[in-house]
Structure 1
Amino acid sequence: MGLRLFLDGLQDRVARLLGLDPANRTVIVRTMLHRPTGDAAGYWLQLLIAAALATLGLALDSTAVVIGAMLIAPLMRPIVELAMGLATGSAPLVFRTGLRSIASIVIVVAASAAFTWLLPFHEPTRELLARTAPSLLDLFVAAACALAGAYAVVMTSNEVATTAAGTSIGISLVPPLCTTGYGLSIGDWEMAQGAALLFTANLTGIVTVAGVVFVLTGFGQVDVRAEERGLDGDEDVGAATRLGRLISRRASARLGPLPRILFPLALLGAISFPLQRAVDEMSRRSAIRQRVRELLAGDQKHRIVQYSLDQTARPTALRVVIVGDATGSRSLEQHLRAKLDVLGERSVRVVVWAVPDASAFSALSARLDDIPLELTPPVPPPPKPSLQTRLATLWPAEAGPIVTTWVSHAGPTRLRVTHLGQELGPAGRELLSRALAVDGTAPLVEEHALIPLVGDIGDEARWLPDTVQLIERSHDLEIHLCLTIPPAPIGKSRTRERTETVLARETVQRALEGRTNTTISDGPQWSISPSLTPCTSVADRATLPSRP
């Protein structure tokens, strides 16, 4: 009992040192418990405005706009009240502020992702990148701001507004959440994870440090059970507060110390390892900066006039300007890359520019950080498909397979197509020419249709000229000619054979001399059939239609 009185007296003394009248502690807790539901509309409106401003400020790389969003954002209030709920053991306060904090996080991230999706550009700015690599130092910053936030709650002077404004700027709650939404919207998971870790570090700092401050200033002495009973007759409270009150009524006392301590400890455990890893990364980056500085300072072969090491870029970018020529810039670039490889920094992109004199350097140095690491050549347009390629795509199957093509670009483009099958005819050639047009210029299409020819005995005068022409056209083509010729009579009937038949047989045989891939068979008709494959049987060839 004596120890309890001593601790209570010590807490009262700390409260008075901070300007807090111990009698006002109950009033502060009562105000937080009886937060009316009517303030919800103003809270959510402020939060959405802050999310929109923060997203635009991050995308535009405007620090002033981001600071404006920090000042408007009301997110710190429910988090500080959550710390108060944990310090006093009030279940209704913990449930209401915890639920509002979770809903606020979800809404800000979703709103930022939606705003980002509507933007016509998605470049990673410095403001965005600055919130993707948190460290253990950010937790200390959050702790310091949490002290200020808790102080703003307990103090009663007119300096509260100034302290709250400074705390809002320092703690930076909404911008990391908006960076998370930005990263999710563009599919940059590394950005989203880094910003989410930064927000978690800030949340942990506020809840932990503010809760400790509230305990040290004696808020645990408040009869929170009596204050919670006042909620039973208050209809202007939300569902989360009612749920917390239901739990507190069923419990014999306020929330125990174990759940109140576990929550901050869980947050600390969740962020300690990644934040420590971030500190190691900062140490590594510092070592790289020092090593690069030493490398460039110790180089006596080149006249180095300026360099820039951008470690926020992905990957890290080292830009160096020397007075000299291209040979010197390539030599220094190779030297720096070799040294960085030794340090294990193979991903660092190094580029060295050589300028001839001081005036050229002045023009270059003004935009050193804006010059791309590599001048990316323009992507050449895809090559236009050749005329033959487009012809193969557009050629109608009904016209038979294409055997060969010939193209002349002397004067108007001429395209001659040799194919097996029926002729396209003038209308078909005109349609094909229009389909093959490029930039309004259409080729002149010609065709050689190699079609089967069939004639009866006695019809040699009509069949023979076309057959000889077909044989002549096929001399340089890799096709097979399949012919059937009426056999010569044997014995006495030979003298009665028609002269036209004898001449036709001799003419065909002379035309075929020296030609390979030719098959001649006896048959009741005259026929010739070009083919891309070896000849079929006589029975198959006999079914060819007669030429009109």
Structure 2
Amino acid sequence: MHTAPFRRQLERLLRVAPESKPAIYLQLFEACDSTSLNYWLELLLSAGIATFGLVLNSPAVVIGAMLISPLMGPILALGLALMIADVYLGLRAAFIILVSVVAAVALSAGIAWLLPYHAATTEILARTQPNLLDLGVALFSGLAGSILVCRGGGAGNISALPGVAIAVALMPPLCAAGFGLGGGPSMSIVSGATLLFVTNLAAITATAFLTFFLVRMDAADVRQRYDQLVREHAWSDPLYLGLMRTIVAKPIGEVGQLRWRVLMLVSLLALLFVPLRRSLVQLRDETSARTAAAEAIRSLGPAGTIVSQVVEPTTNPIIIRLVVADTLSSEAVQAAERLVARRTGRDVSLSVRKIASADELALLRQNLQPPPAPPPPPPPFSLDLVRREALGHLDPPLREAWPAGSAQLLGAELRFDEEGVTVHVRYQAPRPLDTAVEQVLLNVLKARLGMETLRISLAHERPPRNARAAGPRTGAGSPP
């Protein structure tokens, strides 16, 4: 074959010794052991951690799940089986991959169903829109993983390829699909996550196929050793025994010549290319629309002018909604629309709303304030209330001016007539108060009550005989 010299040279440069190839085969063969408890524990733990990491929107937790995931080994084994036309290894790898996918999706769907809420986080949505960039990541990751296996030989466990596992992220798409089933269902999440996983699966298988072909894993001098290893490790496997007892293996090997296997992988990648390219074009258009919208918004004025902005790049026309603090001219708005339309080649709808200034808001609040409440109605007229208020005004000045050392104040009352108001005071003392005291009381009351026409009359009462010996008592009586 004309590629043989190149393959031998590459095999030598990568230091893949012929004697290490059986160990590489055995390593991948054992990675597809469906009876391994360690494999299923790693798978279920990885699926559970990835599901909770996606729900919690925690990249660190999701990365931890990627490190535990054992799916890389069976996928590389599938690539090797396709390359060397090993029907048994291919069926063995395909079976464990299929069961692993079902188990991971079922576990994540069950966890999502038990959750009290089903909000799609950023980590989940990031796995629902794959594009050609994800295909590129998967191709390079598969290439790195298969080269690492070839160079490592039998040293280490190929299910723990940390860098490759983190880069290609096989488990998170499966758990995102499970979340879409158990939390909704949401077919957009399920379909997008499934497309991402199939993309990773096909890309890793194809690059593993290419790598194993370039390092001559199908060399005739090691094929017999592969068959011997299979007989040693699979003699009790019902699948292997069934293949050996039938004539299925031979026609598959004949039909599965190298060119047909290559065509199969290329066709699968070509089928994936169509939706992935569509997603990439959509991402390009969205990015272009957002960039053009940001530039157009900056052209409308300083950053402080724009209070808020909403850009919807996926609609047709592109919708841009702005809330501004200052008035924008219609010419400026139309120029911004033309700028976005020129950059994107799509129609644009730009709407601008101006918020009110502080003075306008103050005026609006003033106009919206309810009218002041009317004063409460005056209380109904009451003669008793008038009496109590009048005596309340009279009592303090009368007690302050009263000569308590000479006479005891018994009470006071107000008498109203056509000529005015008379204050009638009753008091008790051994002898009547003289006229000077009466005049002082009258002057004080006139000044304090503000009534010049006020009159006063004093009614003297003698104290009882037993109290007369003790002398006059101090203190004032209470008005009736």
| Match in the other structure for 2:305 | 303
Distance (Å, rounded) in 1 between the aligned partners of 2:348 and 2:103: 37
The TM-score normalised by the length of structure 2 is: 0.62
Q: Does the Cα contact within 8 Å between 1:93 and 1:244 map onto a contact in 2?
A: no
Q: Secondary structure at the match of 1:197?
A: helix
Aligned residue in 1 for 2:266 = 265
Partners of 1:344 and 1:240 in 2: CA distance: 58
Aligned pair in 2 of structure 1 residues 37, 101: CA closer, same or farther (>3 Å)? closer
Please tell me the root mean square deviation across aligned C-alpha atoms, in Å.
Answer: 4.1
Distance 1:265 1:101, change over 3 A: same
Among candidates 208, 213, 219, match of residue 221 of structure 1: 219
Q: How far did residue 87 of structure 1 move?
A: 0.9
- CA separation in 2, counterparts of 1:243 and 1:340? 65
Cα pair distance change 1:11/1:351, threshold 3 Å = farther
Is 1:291 the equivalent of 2:288? no
Worse-superposed segment, 303-312 or 149-158: 303-312
Judged with a 3 Å threshold, the aligned counterparts in structure 2 of structure 1 residues 50 and 356 are, in CA distance, closer, same or farther, namely farther
The answer as to whether partners of 1:332 and 1:352 remain within 8 angstroms in 2 is no
Q: Choose the corresponding residue for 1:26, options 9, 22, 38.
A: 22
Other structure's SS at 2:119 match: coil
One-letter amino acid of the structure 2 residue matched with residue 170 of structure 1: A
Asked if 1 retains the 8 angstrom alpha-carbon contact of 2:51 and 2:111, the reply is yes
**In 2, distance between residues paired with 1:166 and 1:174?**
14
Instruction: Identify the match of residue 189 of structure 1 among 165, 187, 190.
Output: 187
1:208 to 206, 222, 236: 206
Unaligned segments of structure 1, at least 5 residues: 358-548
Q: Is the 8 A contact 2:125 2:189 kept in 1?
A: yes
1:193 CA drift (Å):
1.0
Indicate whether 1:147 and 2:143 are aligned.
yes
Report the CA distance shift for 1:351/1:40 in structure 2 as closer, same or farther (over 3 A). farther
Letter in 2 for 1:85: A
Following the alignment from structure 1 to structure 2, what is the Cα–Cα distance between the partners of residues 352 and 46? 56
Identity %: 30
Distance 2:224 2:139 in 1: 29
Alpha-carbon distance in 2 for matches of 1:227, 1:62: 43
1:105 paired residue number: 101
* Residues in 2 aligned to 1:298 and 1:347: alpha-carbon distance in whole angstroms: 16
CA positional deviation for 1:225: 5.4
Alpha carbons 1:51, 1:174 under 8 Å: kept: yes
Deviations 1:354-383 (A, max 9, x none): 6979xxxxxxxxxxxxxxxxxxxxxxxxxx
Judged with a 3 Å threshold, the aligned counterparts in structure 2 of structure 1 residues 12 and 269 are, in CA distance, closer, same or farther, namely same
For 2:444, the equivalent position in structure 1 comes to none
- Structure 1 residue aligned with 2:123: 127
Matches of residues 90-489 of structure 1 in structure 2 within 5 Å? 90-156=86-152, 164-185=161-182, 186-222=184-220, 223-224=222-223, 227-228=226-227, 230-232=229-231, 234=233, 238-246=237-245, 250-251=249-250, 255-300=256-301, 303-304=305-306, 322=324, 324=325
Cα distance, 1:341 vs structure 2: 9.7
C-alpha deviation, 1:332, in angstroms? 11
User: How much does 1:224 deviate?
Assistant: 3.2
Is the CA contact 2:70–2:159 (under 8 Å) kept in the aligned structure 1?
Answer: no
Equivalent in the alignment of 1:71: 67
C-alpha contact (below 8 Å) 1:50/1:72 kept by paired residues: yes
* Displacement after TM superposition at 1:213 (Å): 0.8
The count of residues paired between Structure 1 and Structure 2 equals 350
Task: Give the match's secondary structure for 2:18.
Answer: coil
CA-CA distance at 1:54 after TM superposition: 1.1
Residues 34 and 96 of structure 2 are in contact (CA less than 8 Å); yes or no, is this contact kept in structure 1? no
Q: Give the structure with the higher percent helix.
A: 2
Tell me, in whole angstroms, the C-alpha distance in 1 between the residues paired with 2:110 and 2:95.
Answer: 22
Q: What TM-score comes out, normalization by structure 1 length?
A: 0.55
Q: Which has the higher contact order (CA 8 A, sep 6+)?
A: 2
Q: Distance in 1 between matches of 2:245 and 2:314?
A: 50
Q: Determine the C-alpha separation between the residues in 2 that align with 1:182 and 1:332.
A: 47
Which shifted more, 226-235 or 13-22? 226-235
Pairwise CA distance, 1:40: 2.3
Q: How has the CA–CA distance of structure 1 residues 68 and 247 changed in structure 2, closer, same or farther, with 3 Å as cutoff?
A: farther
2:28 touches 2:76 (CA, 8 Å); kept in 1? no
Give the Cα–Cα distance (whole angstroms) in 2 for the partners of residues 320 and 83 of structure 1.
53
CA 1:241/1:171 → structure 2, altered by over 3 Å: closer, same or farther? farther
Structure 2 counterpart of 1:210, one-letter code: A
Aligned-partner Cα distance in 2 for 1:318–1:240: 61
Q: Which amino acid aligns with 1:135?
A: N
* Amino acid paired to 1:274: P
Distance 1:125 1:148, change over 3 A: same
CA positional deviation for 1:333: 11
Higher Cα Rg, which structure: 2
Q: Distance in 2 between matches of 1:67 and 1:43?
A: 18
